[in-house]
Amino acid sequence: MTTLPRLIAFDLDGTLLTSQKRVTDRTVSAIRELSIRGVRIILCTGRPPRNTRSFMNQLEINTAIVYNGAGLYGYRNNVTTHVQTLSKTTAQVILKKMRETFSDIQVGLETLEGWYLDQNFFDFRQQIREEPDQIPPNGVGRVERFLEGQSAIKLLFRHPHKSALELSRSLSKQSIYQTWSASSVLEVMHPQVNKGNALCRLAKKLGIEREETAAFGDQHNDREMLLWAGTSVAPANASPQIRAISNVLTTSNDEDGIARVLENWLGKS
């Protein structure tokens, strides 16, 4: 690459992070050099701010697109703006539909105030010890009761015997955005939410053209971002569908795939 992108967006899980949920020293070094050269670096993740801040601190990044594009988070002021939420009616309709359709459904809820889990979803996460250092949920129990006085940024659904794709088919007639980063958890958000729309808005705000952007991602929730960016990069561990739409392919997230691309752009390989 003869000219560096002006704006680079990185997905976290499965892309910037290894399977051990860390950023390699080699990747950190490349990102810091890009920042020194004036490239704007952001994270673009399905995670909420609470699970993103430590990586922003490590990489000295101030801006992250969070909740799959439903919010824009600033590290220094610890504020989330441009938040898009599901209407109360839509959230209630979706919850009712999913509970009636799937008797063993596990439900999660993300709001600006915190996150909440059905008891069975909480029990499942405890069993697999998913991210043991994660901040505990603000409430455990039937999530509908936590919706009172709050707006849903994201609804999450998991079933012990069905994939996220299978779950999504039951909501095909709803005006919502559905995606997943893990094959078993369906994420439901406002219909205009996706990483691509959020990246487009941010680039326009910064006066950066589409052709001057690059994005790195590996899963279904990265699709719109990769399609929008001027340059799209996928690691070897990305889903086949994501690799098919990306114009740069690299080695896996456990083989410094991201660092290899960045070093090439920096003229180091």
- pLDDT for the residue 128: 67
Where in the chain do CATH 3.40.50.1000 domains reside? 7-83+194-265
Cα-Cα end-to-end distance for the chain = 11
- For residue 173, what pLDDT is reported? 82
pLDDT at 221: 96
pLDDT attached to residue 262: 98
| CATH architecture label of 7-83+194-265 | 3-Layer(aba) Sandwich (3.40)
Work out the average pLDDT over 197-210: 98
Residue 181 pLDDT greater than 90, yes or no: no
Task: State which fold the 88-189 domain adopts.
Answer: 3.30.1240
Give CA separation, 199 vs 10, 31, 64, in Å. Answer: 11, 18, 10
What is the bridge-based pairing of β-strands 213-216 and 71-74?
unpaired
H or E segment to which residue 243 belongs? helix 240-245
Residue 1 has what pLDDT? Answer: 66
Strands (E), the chain: 7-10, 40-44, 63-66, 71-74, 79-81, 106-110, 115-117, 139-140, 154-158, 177-179, 185-189, 213-216, 231-234, 248-249
Task: Give the pLDDT confidence of 46-70 residue by residue, as tens digits.
Answer: 999 999 999 999 999 999 999 999 9
Percent of the chain surpassing pLDDT 90: 90
Looking at the chain, the domain(s) classified CATH 3.30.1240.10 span 88-189
pLDDT in tens, 74-98: 999 999 999 999 999 999 999 999 9
- Residue 133's pLDDT is 57
pLDDT digits (tens, 9 = 90+) for 92-110: 999 999 999 999 999 999 9
**pLDDT of 121-146, one tens digit each?**
999 888 766 565 578 899 999 999 99
d(CA 2, CA 163) in angstroms, rounded, equals 42
pLDDT at 229 over 80: yes
Whether the predicted pLDDT of 230 surpasses 90: yes
Residue 174's pLDDT is what?
87
Average pLDDT over residues 223-239: 98
Mean pLDDT, residues 204-221 taken together: 98
Residue 83, helix vs strand vs coil: coil
Neighbour-count burial for 175-210, b at 16+ CB within 10 Å, e otherwise: ebbbbbbbebbbbbbbeebbbbbbbbebbeeeebee
The pLDDT tens digits for 20-43 are 999 999 999 999 999 999 999 999
Over the Cα atoms of the chain, what is R_g? 18
State the Cα–Cα distance between residues 169 and 12, nearest whole angstrom: 27
